[in-house]
Amino acid sequence: MRPRPKYLLLIKPPLPVADHIDGLRGLHGIDRSYTSDKLHGTLLPLGDIDPGRVRDHLSDFRAAPFRVVFDRIEHAVLNASETIHGLIAFHRRLVTHLRHAGCRLPDYTLRPHVTLSYKARLSASFGIDPVSWRVEEFLLIESHAGRHRQRGRWRLD
């Protein structure tokens, strides 16, 4: 029996920022086999939910863009030393919208980060020059057997 695809709502850095993050991986000796086009911050794992239903429920969702800033590498994860208030407010609004629309969502506590590698983990934790971008969209991704396929995209305005 083949495993079913899982769906995620996530944010992705723009290509120049993803390339910069990839450069940080090289600079700090972090495995780069997880390609830079897959770098992301998970907003909400949805499991095996019907993606069409999610798209329908998000068709009327509106939110403003916000900025994220990450300034630490901890165990091959890009983290923020300060609370990313815009991201947390956006996440709360997104979850509330989906629950009011009738979506059954898994319990998930948002811990803003970007995973740099799923293989080797660093034992070190250190500050870096801030990596920042303005989040102007979020995506619905189907993740299956290590592949990501975009199943929905919403602009923030």
Q: Per-residue pLDDT tens for 23-53?
A: 999 999 899 998 999 999 999 999 888 999 9
Hey, which residues does 147 pair with through a beta bridge? 144
Nearest Cα residue to 95 out of 84, 83, 108: 108
Over 60: is that where the pLDDT of 69 sits?
yes
pLDDT tens profile 92-132? 999 999 999 999 899 999 999 999 998 867 778 999 999 99
Under 8 Å CB-to-CB from 64, ≥6 apart: which residues? 156, 157
- Residue 20: half-sphere exposure toward Cβ, Cα within 13 Å: 15
Question: Which tokens go with 99?
Answer: 């629950």
φ and ψ at residue 85, rounded to 5 degrees: -60, -40
Token pair of 115 as six digits = 């995973």
* Residues 151 and 10: beta-carbon distance below 8 Å: no
- Residue 43 pLDDT: 97
The model carries a pTM of 0.92
What is the DSSP code (8-state) at residue 115?
A: E
Q: How far apart are CA 73 and CA 63, in angstroms?
A: 29
Q: What's the one-letter identity of residue 49?
A: I
* pLDDT in the model for residue 41: 97
Looking at the DSSP assignment, which residues form a beta bridge with residue 141? 8, 150
pLDDT value of residue 2: 59
Angle, in degrees to the nearest 10, between helices 51-58 and 85-100: 110
Q: Sorting pLDDT into bands at 50, 70 and 90, what band is 153?
A: very high
CATH number of this structure's domain 6-155:
3.90.1140.10
